[in-house]
Structure 1
C-alpha cells in the first residue's frame, strides 16, 4: 500500500471507511518509514527491530523465493518471542514471507511457529504472487504451483482461492482475540492486500471508483474494521494498542493496480521516499488521544521497542537495535511537531538496497549516495492503465540503472517531500559533514548477517499430493 492510497492520506477518489475512522479516533503519522522497500526485508525488520542487513535478509532478489532454503535466522529475537516470555499469548495470521523450508520440502523450519508464535492460523508462507491471478487479466496461463496456503505448518490449499482469503484471515484473528480476551496478547495480522495480484471477494467487486485496486482496498478496510469492532464488543479496546501500517510503498510499475504514493517519488523496490514512506496509524481509545497527527520521523523498526516498553520487558542486550520506542509520542510526552528543525541528535535512518547503503535520512534532510533510475515508459507499458507484464524498477542494487552520487544528492524532505529539487551541497557543509559522520559511525558498528535470500532450490518447492501439487483441505477450525 502506498503513502497516498487512503482517503485520510489524501487520495481524491478512494472511498473513506473504517481505516479512516481509525485515523479520526487515533494518531496518524505523516513520516512513517518502512525499513525496506520490499516485502521480506521490511517484515524481518518490523519483527526484530533491526535493519535487514543486520539480520541477513538480503541478497539474491532481496526477497524469499517459494523454493528458497533461507529464512529469518533463528538466533534473531522477534516481538513474539519477547512478549511470549512476558506471559503474552502470541498469534500470527496472514502473509509471512520470511522463509518456509530449509532442508526438506516439508520441514517448515522457517515458519512462524519457530519464531515465538503459539497460534498460527491461515497463512501465506510465500506471498500473493502475480502468478496467482485467477482473473487471467495479466497472465493467460497462471502458475498455481506458487500459490499455496498453510494453516499453522500444514499445507491446506494449492492453489489458494482468493474469494475467501481475507475472510479466512479475519475468522482466525477474531477467534484468537476471543480466546485470549482475558489475558495479554500479541497478534500479528498481515493481510495479502494490497499486493499483486489484485483481488477481492465477490461482494466488494466493482464497488470502488478506483477499479480493482480500490475494490481490494475496500475489502481490506472492512476486515480492519471488523477487528476493531471485535475489540470494542469485548470491551478490551482500552487496553489494546492497534498499529496499522504497510510494508512498503506502492508498486508503480503495475500502473493503476499498483497503488498511489501521492506526491512522493518512486515506489516499491526503490529507496526514493515513494518506496519507503508508508501510512502509519496508532489506535488505542482512552490512551492515544483522538485526531492526532504526528510529524515525527519514525520507523517500522520502532514497533519492537514500543511493544517491549509497554510490556515492561528488556530485549536481549547482545545486539544492536535500530528502532526506538514510540511510547513518548503515543502518550503525548513528545510534541506532535518536533520543536527544533535540527535538534542536537536528529533521528537518523539508513536506507539500504540489499547490502548497499543507498541513502541516509538525517532529521529533515535526506542524502542519496546511490539512486535508482525510475521507469519513464509508463504509457507504453500501461495501455489503458493496466500493465502488460509484471516488472520492477529493479531487484538489482548494483546494475547500470544505479547512479553513484559524489557528493551525495541532498534534499530537504520537509520542504520538498517529492525529492524534486536537490540542494546545493556547497551551502550545506555542516549538514553533509554530520550525515557523513553518522554514516561512518553506523558502518563501523555494522556486522552484516549471512545473506539468506540467495538460497534457492527447486527441490524445496511446497507441494501437496506430489507430483500434482493440488489440494483443498479445510482446517479443523473452519469446519
Structure 2
C-alpha cells in the first residue's frame, strides 16, 4: 500500500469524531438516586430558586423524561423495584405492617431476587454501591450479597436510630427552614462493605463523601466496564449540608442540600470527561419517591403534580428524571412513559447481558426509544401499589384510583366505589375527576387491575418481622 494512502488512513482514524479507543466496549452505567426529591425541585423541572446548573446542563445534553415513575412511593419498596426490575409486591419488599425497613427489622431483599448488579457482573462489569441501601441492614442482606463488589454508605434512612435527650427535630424542622440537627441526634452507622466504620455518621459531610467515593470507584475501574449505584440519603429529613453549601440557596436548607447534590453530579461528570469516559457512560438521575410534604420547608415540591411521598397520586410516584449519554441518547424532552423498573432490562440490552426469564419482570427495555430508534415506549401502563394493596392503575393517558390516601402519615385510606378517573395528559395535577363521563374507560382499567392482581403470587412479607428494641434507641417514623 502506498505510504500516502497509509498516512491518509491514519489521519482519518485520528481525527474522526466517531472513532475512539474502545468504541465497541460495553457502556458504563451510573444511577444517581436521590431520596424524597420532588418533581418540581430541579431548575430544569421548573423550580424558580433552587439552582441546579449541572443537572440542567445534563438535561440539555441528554433527555428529560416527564412521565417517569418509581415502583413505590416510599423508600424500601421503591429501591427494591429499581434494583430488581420487579414490583416490590413480588419480592415481599412491601408491607401493610411496616412501610419500610427499620433498625429492628429482621428481613431484607431475598437472596433469590436478581439485581442489576448481578446481571451486569455476570457480563464482566465492576459493580459499586455508594450511599443509602435500605434493603436490609443485616449481613446477609447488604449490597455485597446482592451483586455489588463494594459498598460504602448508610444501611437505612438517615432519620433512624434517633436518640433521646435532644430537641425534637420534627417540631424544629417544621418551624425553621434553616434548622440543622447535630450529628449525635441520629445514631446512624456508616458501613464499608459489611464493617461499621463510623457511628454516628457525620451527616454534614455525607453528600461530599458519597461523591468522592463514587469518583474513586470510577478511577479504580476506568479500564473495564462498570456499574455505579450512587444512592443519596438526601433530601430526606434530617437535612444536612456541607459547610460550603449552607446558605447557598434562596430556598433555605432544603435548597442548599439539593444544590450540593447537583455539584456532586458536576464533579462526577468532570471525572468522566477527564478519563475520556463520557461518551461511553450512561448516567441516569432520578429519585426514590416524591417530597415529604408534611415537613413544610424541609420537604420538597411536586410542582404541578398532586400530593407527595407515601401517596399514589402523581406527586408521590412520578419523578424528575434525566438520561445522559453523549453521542447515543439524542437530546430532548421525552414524554413517553418509563419507570425505574425498566432500568434492569434496558441496561441488560445495552450491555448485551442476559437477564432472568424464570420470573415475572415488570420492567421494559427502553433502549430503542432512549437512543432514538423508536418513537413509542414499550411501557403503556403503570401499577401504583401502596403496601400490599393496589391503589391505582394508569394505561395510556388514563389513571383510575380505586383507593386513595392524601399524605404519608395521619390520613386514612379512602376506598372509592366508583374509581376516580383522571386524564393525565389533560390534567397532570389530578384535579378533575371524569369518571362519570368515561364509564368504558373505568371498565377497561378495572379489568386491567384485576388481571394484574391475578399475576401476583404470595410471598413472605420481608418488612413485617421485628427483633427486640435496642437499649436507649427508638425507631423513628
TM-score with structure 1 length normalisation? 0.85
Counterpart position of 1:381: none
Q: Secondary structure at the match of 1:216?
A: helix
Choose from 248, 253, 267 the match for 1:212.
Answer: 253
Structure 2 residue 154 is matched with structure 1 residue 124: yes
Structure 2 residue 351 is matched with structure 1 residue 299: no
Question: In the alignment, is the contact (CA less than 8 A) between 2:160 and 2:187 conserved in 1?
Answer: no
CA RMSD, 1 decimal: 2.1
CA-to-partner distance for each residue in 1:38-90, whole Å, 9 max, x for gaps? 00000000000000100101122210001211100111000000100111111
Choose from 434, 438, 443 the match for 1:428.
Answer: 438
Show the 5 A alignment for 1:44-443.
44-59=80-95, 60-101=97-138, 108-120=139-151, 122-129=152-159, 138=170, 144=185, 146-290=187-331, 292-335=332-375, 347-374=380-407, 392-394=408-410, 401-425=412-436, 427-443=437-453
Residue 335 of structure 1 and its aligned partner are, at CA, apart by: 2.7
Question: In the alignment, is the contact (CA less than 8 A) between 2:364 and 2:379 conserved in 1?
Answer: no
The separation in 1 between residues aligned to 2:315 and 2:146, in whole angstroms, is: 30
More divergent stretch after superposition (345-354 vs 415-424): 345-354
How has the CA–CA distance of structure 1 residues 132 and 199 changed in structure 2, closer, same or farther, with 3 Å as cutoff? farther
Q: Secondary structure at the match of 1:70?
A: coil
Q: Secondary structure at the match of 2:418?
A: strand
How has the CA–CA distance of structure 1 residues 132 and 285 changed in structure 2, closer, same or farther, with 3 Å as cutoff? farther
Counterpart position of 1:30: 66
Question: In the alignment, is the contact (CA less than 8 A) between 2:66 and 2:335 conserved in 1?
Answer: yes
Question: In the alignment, is the contact (CA less than 8 A) between 1:66 and 1:146 conserved in 2?
Answer: no
Runs of at least 4 residues off by over 3 Å: 130-146
Q: Secondary structure at the match of 1:176?
A: helix
Unaligned runs of 5+ in 2: 1-36, 173-180
The separation in 2 between residues aligned to 1:225 and 1:300, in whole angstroms, is: 22
Question: In the alignment, is the contact (CA less than 8 A) between 1:266 and 1:272 conserved in 2?
Answer: yes
Residue 393 of structure 1 and its aligned partner are, at CA, apart by: 2.7
The separation in 2 between residues aligned to 1:166 and 1:330, in whole angstroms, is: 29
The separation in 2 between residues aligned to 1:129 and 1:137, in whole angstroms, is: 9
Counterpart position of 2:465: 455
Unaligned runs of 5+ in 1: 102-107, 339-344, 375-391, 395-399, 462-466, 470-479
Bigger-Rg structure (1/2): 2
The separation in 2 between residues aligned to 1:257 and 1:186, in whole angstroms, is: 32
The separation in 1 between residues aligned to 2:451 and 2:50, in whole angstroms, is: 43
Residue 130 of structure 1 and its aligned partner are, at CA, apart by: 6.4
Question: In the alignment, is the contact (CA less than 8 A) between 1:45 and 1:52 conserved in 2?
Answer: yes
Question: In the alignment, is the contact (CA less than 8 A) between 2:103 and 2:161 conserved in 1?
Answer: no
Give the number of equivalent residue pairs. Answer: 425
The separation in 2 between residues aligned to 1:272 and 1:218, in whole angstroms, is: 26
Structure 2 residue 75 is matched with structure 1 residue 39: yes
Question: In the alignment, is the contact (CA less than 8 A) between 2:159 and 2:186 conserved in 1?
Answer: no
The separation in 2 between residues aligned to 1:87 and 1:68, in whole angstroms, is: 33
The separation in 2 between residues aligned to 1:277 and 1:65, in whole angstroms, is: 25
How has the CA–CA distance of structure 1 residues 248 and 160 changed in structure 2, closer, same or farther, with 3 Å as cutoff? same
Question: In the alignment, is the contact (CA less than 8 A) between 1:270 and 1:393 conserved in 2?
Answer: no
The separation in 2 between residues aligned to 1:20 and 1:51, in whole angstroms, is: 30
Question: In the alignment, is the contact (CA less than 8 A) between 1:81 and 1:117 conserved in 2?
Answer: yes
Residue 212 of structure 1 and its aligned partner are, at CA, apart by: 0.4
